[in-house]
Amino acid sequence: MRAVLVGGGHAHVHVLKLLGEQRPPGARLTLVARDVQTPYSGMIPGFVAGHYSFADCHIDLAKLCAARGIELIHGEAIGLDRVRRRVLLVDKQAVDYDLLSIDVGSAPNLDAIRGAAQWAIPVKPIAELGRRWLAFLDQARTRRGPLAIAVIGGGAGGVELALAIDHRLRSIAKDATLRIALIARDEILPGHAPAARRRLRAILKRRGIALHEHTTAIAIERDGVRLQDAASLEADAVFMVTQAAPAPWFAATGLPLDEQGFLAVEATLRSPGDPCIFAAGDCATVLDHRRPKAGVYAVRQGPPLAANLARALAGEAPLPFVPQRRHLAIIGTGDGRAVATRGWWAVEGRWVWRWKDHIDRRWMAQYR
């Protein structure tokens, strides 16, 4: 029986490890991945800030698969033939499956802002961000005069990215006059404690990062961002950390989708429209337990997904999984400090960053 994993997301990384070590008899495992070096999202802001190398925060899927006897196909999925049970790939032959799991993440909706597809740097896919950031740094090193950056998105990811960019550019673009702006449609950190918002607003102000709350970017142009109130911000680079969008090919699969077009799954992480298909991570919505599309939830779906795929391969019924309602959020400020928040409280300090660094490195060490 052949199980095919499409995508190298956080949940699938754990599946590769667990099923590679405890594979059911007669099971054949195949991974289809567009990116062979898969990033760990929790460490990417630290990578942008200069605290981690590319290798520190990326998992080598080729080595992980080779060590566990898992077939790796380097390709990008663009559709499914559910009648013949085949995954359709770009410029490659289709891949047959008996059991399928999808964990391809998400990407910002570039159609939501005019000019974004041409001029913006989307944060997701994260693997692409890593490459584009390194190229941008090469240009920034020799920059003289004004250097303006805009970050669109006031969630934890946008706040963390703006602070990471500020720290890194101040250390390498020493001949440039740096200006960074953070644009949030509502207030920053929606869904987090007011105490966390107060702390991060104070940090942004102290660092000289211009915060534009309750405003919307309506267009991105070659030299900046146009806001809804007709104001314009100059920008040499614009990073988008906005609401995620699903893969376009999901719409043609015939599988149940949520209101935004993400794959809808049951509490078992199995599609209610096809018992042979599971999905996890940002690309999926658990209908009975809706949670924010954040890396922490994708990571924690790894163990139950692996267990249920193993059960399905053995001909057993999958078991439901109930994710926690609240999670600890640790937001790095780029300068070796961080803010931790959960529920109503928030704390800040260098020790918080060391705590986050320990958690992230320990997670990565499992897959080396």
For the stretch 186-208, pLDDT in tens is: 999 998 999 999 999 999 999 99
Task: Count the Cβ atoms, other than its own, within 10 Å of residue 189.
Answer: 25
Given a cut of 80, is residue 7 above it in pLDDT? yes
Mean pLDDT of 138-165: 94
Residue 290 confidence (pLDDT) = 84
DSSP track, 197-251: HHHHHHHHHHTT-EEE-S--EEEEETTEEEETTS-EEE-SEEEE---EE--GGGG
Looking at residue 114, the DSSP 8-state letter turns out to be B
Which structure tokens are listed for 121? 């740097």
Given a cut of 90, is residue 284 above it in pLDDT? yes
Residue 220 confidence (pLDDT) = 95
* Higher per-residue pLDDT: 126 or 217: 217
Q: Map out the domains of the chain with their CATH numbers.
A: 2-106+246-313 (3.50.50.60), 108-243 (3.50.50.60)
Mean pLDDT of the chain: 92
Mean pLDDT of 44-53: 94
d(CA 114, CA 105): 23
Given a cut of 90, is residue 239 above it in pLDDT? yes
Q: Where does the pLDDT of residue 52 fall: very low under 50, low under 70, confident under 90, or very high at 90 and above? A: very high
